[in-house]
Amino acid sequence: MFHDDSGQATAEYALVIVAAALIALALIVWAGSTGVLEEIFDTVARRVIRIAGG
């Protein structure tokens, strides 16, 4: 008679987390292949060094 849906929310959250991880991975692969990540890290490093007084 009664249907227990207590684990459904947990499963839905897990699917959302997996989807978010796949999107993040796709963005990282894309950014790595275009050189964007290197530019970002270089920019951040230069700014940190400049702020630190170097």
| Predicted confidence band of residue 8 (pLDDT cuts 50, 70, 90) | confident
pTM for the full model?
0.58
The pLDDT of residue 4 is above 80 = no
In the chain, what are the domain boundaries? 9-51
CA distances from 36 to 6, 13, 17 (A): 43, 31, 25
Could you report the per-residue pLDDT of 9-47, keeping only the tens digit for each? Answer: 888 999 999 999 999 999 989 888 998 888 889 999 999
- pLDDT of the residue at 22: 97
| Predicted confidence band of residue 1 (pLDDT cuts 50, 70, 90) | low
Round to the nearest angstrom and report the end-to-end CA distance of the chain: 72
